[in-house]
Amino acid sequence: MNDSVIEIRGVSKTFRSRLRRTAVRALKDVDVTVVRGTVTAFVGPNGAGKTTTINTILGLLKPDQGSISVFGLKAGSREARRRLGFQSEIFHPYPFHTARAAMEFYGRLSDQPRAPLGKAVERQLERLGLGDSMDRKVGTFSKGMIQRLGLAQALLHRPELLLLDEPTTGLDPQGRKLVADIIQEEQARGTTVFLSSHILSDIERTCDRLIMIRNGEVVLRQEIGSPFQQEGWEIEVTGWCAGAESDLARAGYRPARVDGTIAYFGCTDAEKRNLLRRVLDLSLDVGVVRRPSRSLEDIYMEHVQGQRRV
Amino acid sequence: MSDVWIIAANTFREILRRKVIYVLVLLGVLMMIIWLGQTSLMNMASEADEPEILLQMKTSQTRIFFGMWSSCTAFLGLFLGAVALATEIRTQTIVPVLVRPIPRWAYLVGKWLGTQLFVCLLLGLGIGIGLVIMWAFELEMRPLLWFSMLEMFAGATLFTGVSLGLSVVLNPILAGGVTLLLSSVPNMIELLFRHPHWALKGLAATVYYLSPAHMPTDLLADSFERELLQPDYALYARVIVENILYSMSFLLAGCILFSRQEIKLK
């Protein structure tokens, strides 16, 4: 059984002005695979091509080259659309609907039977914290409430694939946490999530795969979590003094950095045990022993500012 | 078909919330004010015991009312048809709809149906008012008037369908303009038909067949102001049906193009 939910192969897309005088290449030979049941983050700076990619997955845009399949079906086909839920960066509902009417409208367009729809609408609105505003006109909603409604409508028909384009835009920390919790709940239910976001802390918290795009090209594909850790060890030694420095130097160990009475050492797996023994022999205290790691932000900045390509 | 009805009902509700409706109400009030001004003249004719002049004034005023109302609704249909799609794309309300499993044609037909429903209800309201006025004025109801009313509905359908179909490929102003131009072509090329040069005659014939069918007589005026000796009802019915089919062909072409079109959001 093919385990990929989204398969993007060699997709390029160029936008041309009406008179074809200027051309902007939005996507260049993009390859993306989203595996079933994963939460994949799609990150990149503004204008990198994230929304264009999502719009091609939805079938709103057509690639100039390459192919896109969703559940093995042609992107944008009715069957593919039936199985996905989408929230755009800014959700655009009809302002004259109440939250309940908007949800019922989208639910009915998703082929949801009328009878259970009412209950499903209430359940999703409650889940997104809009229970008290069900019968309020959407036009009177705050930006955060509209975003919550956007997520609620994407979840309404219990899709197998959730495409979320910057779902936390305009949300307060409480709302962001709610979205993160919902993503985790959906993943536990078996939903595949493809999430475009700028908020790296949210991605670290919720996603297990990362795809980074810059200038329309995929520059990084990586697992989130342990892969961010590097080789070797970082050891923090407290009670540092000049005598200790000379003793350890004789044994071939020099601190990478000294901060007052705290020294930081870097060593390999093979060196770790010996170094720790010597430190303890000198009656120094070992503060922390850890794998050195880079944050997602470090990786993001490295790929976005630099020219690295993986 | 349920998708079409869902979109149509939503479009209808959306139109009811458009500011243009309030402009229309204002126009209606203005019409009534003009109307009230004319009724004072009618009172004078009545007091002067001039029944023929009074009848003429009543007939003329009723015809003007029907004419103005049908023109207003047809132009409103043209406007609403031309902006229906562009507004949805501009406000991006189209996105959460098109990502759902509905065919693009169903979306466009739903937009048309909702718009058409509104225009027809408005036209029906005007016709209802007109009939009440006719009853109050004790005017004779000629069979031709029924054809004239059908022509009004066909006109509204023509404007709505053609402008919506064109708005798939043209911006709303151009779509509206081209619709207006197409509907005026039959009147504009009459001279060309009489031109002695075969090429111009041929051009006139080509343009004639590409434009909507032309009603050979003013049905509304004939319903009130003169009596046709031999009204050709079959011809009138054919023109009405042809114009509805003409409108549907634009809508169909619009559906085909829209199904293949990219939705580029700003």
Residue-wise pLDDT tens digits, A79-133: 999 999 999 999 999 999 999 999 999 999 998 888 889 899 999 999 999 999 9
Q: How far apart are CA A294 and CA A285, in angstroms?
A: 25
Residue A310 pLDDT > 70, yes or no?
Answer: no
Q: What is the mean pLDDT of chain A?
A: 89
Judge whether B7 and B114 are in contact, CB under 8 Å.
yes
Residue B223 pLDDT greater than 60, yes or no? yes
Domain boundaries, chain A: 4-223, 231-291
**A74 touches B at CB < 8 Å:** no
B48 falls within a domain: yes
More confident residue, A142 or B196: A142
- Comparing CB atoms, the residue among A82, A84, A106 nearest residue B96 is A106
3-state secondary structure of A224: coil
Chain B positions touching A106 (Cβ under 8 A) are 96-97, 100
Give the A:B interface size as CB pairs under 8 Å. 64
pLDDT of residue A92: 94
Interchain pair A61, B263: CB under 8 A:
yes
Bridge partners of residue A220, in order along the sequence: A212
Residue of B nearest to A15 (CA): B264
pLDDT at A226: 56
Per residue in A5-38, pLDDT (tens digit) is: 999 999 999 988 776 678 889 999 999 999 999 9
Residue B265 lies in a domain: no
CA distance A260 to chain B (A): 55
Q: Are B175 and B85 in contact (CB under 8 A)?
A: no
Instruction: Give the domain A231-291 fold.
Output: Alpha-Beta Plaits (3.30.70)
The answer, yes or no, to whether residue A228 has pLDDT greater than 80, is no
Q: Report CB contact under 8 Å: B265, A55.
A: yes
Whether A110 sits inside 8 A of B100 (CB atoms) is yes
Note whether A229 contacts B: Cβ–Cβ < 8 A.
no
pLDDT on residue A81: 95
A81 Cβ under 8 Å from any chain B Cβ:
yes
CB contact under 8 A, A92 and B100: no
Dump pLDDT digits (tens) for B135-150.
Answer: 988 888 888 888 899 9
Total count of residues recorded for chain A? 310
Q: A154, A169, A156, A163: which is closest to A193 by C-alpha?
A: A163
Cβ within 8 Å, pair B6-A105: yes
What would the pLDDT profile of A280-299 be if each residue is shown by its tens digit? 988 889 988 988 777 777 77
Q: Does B98 sit within 8 Å of A60, measured CB to CB?
A: yes
Kindly state the average pLDDT of the residues A170-196.
92
**Using one digit for the tens of pLDDT, what is the confidence trace for B157-179?**
999 999 999 999 999 999 999 99
Q: Is A16 on the interface with B (CB under 8 A)?
A: no
Mutate to test the interface with B, among A109, A153, A161 (most CBs of B within 10 A): A109
Cβ contact, residue pair B14, A96, below 8 Å? yes
Q: Please, what sign has the CA dihedral across residues A259, A262, A263, A268?
A: negative
ipTM score for this prediction: 0.85
Q: A175-205: b or e for each residue (b if 16 or more CB lie within 10 Å)?
A: bbebbbebbeebbeeebbbbbbbebbebbbe
CATH topology of domain A4-223: Rossmann fold (3.40.50)
Q: What is the mean pLDDT of residues B56-73?
A: 87
Share of chain A above pLDDT 90, in %: 56
**Is residue A276 over pLDDT 60?**
yes
Strongest mean pLDDT among A207-216, B194-203, B248-257: B248-257
Backbone angles phi, psi at A207, to 5 degrees: -105, 155
pLDDT band at B211 (very low <50, low <70, confident <90, very high): confident
Task: Find the largest Cα–Cα distance for chain A.
Answer: 80
Average pLDDT of the residues of chain B: 88
Residue B266 within any structural domain of the chain: no
Distance CA A150, CA A89 (A): 9
Query: With an 8 Å Cβ cutoff, are B14 and A153 in contact?
Result: no
Quick one: what percent of chain A has pLDDT higher than 70? 95
Contacts of B91 in chain A (CB under 8 A): 92
Range of the domain at B39: 2-260
Which residues does B contribute to its contact with A (CB < 8 Å)? 2-3, 6, 10, 13-14, 17, 91-93, 95-103, 262-265
Closest CA to B181 of B211, B224, B153: B211
| Contact assignment for B100 to A106 by CB distance below 8 Å | yes
In angstroms, rounded to a whole number, what is the distance separating the alpha carbons of residues A263 and A265?
7
Q: How high is the pLDDT of residue A52?
A: 94
Rounded Cα distance between A169 and A144, Å, is 8
Question: Tell me, what's the pLDDT at A58?
Answer: 95
B206 within domain boundaries? yes
Dump pLDDT digits (tens) for B230-253. 788 899 999 999 999 999 999 999
**Domain count along chain B:** 1
Chain A, window 243-272: residues with a beta carbon less than 8 angstroms from a chain B beta carbon: none
Please give the residue of chain A at the shortest CA–CA distance from B12.
Answer: A96
A23: closest CA of chain B, how far (Å): 15
Length reported for chain B: 266
Q: Is the pLDDT of residue A309 over 50?
A: no
**How would you classify residue A37: left for phi > 0, otherwise alpha for psi between -120 and 50, otherwise beta?**
left
Highest mean pLDDT among B25-34, B70-79, B92-101: B92-101
Query: Do strands A39-43 and A192-196 pair parallel, antiparallel, or not at all (unpaired)?
Result: parallel
User: So what's the pLDDT on residue B72?
Assistant: 87
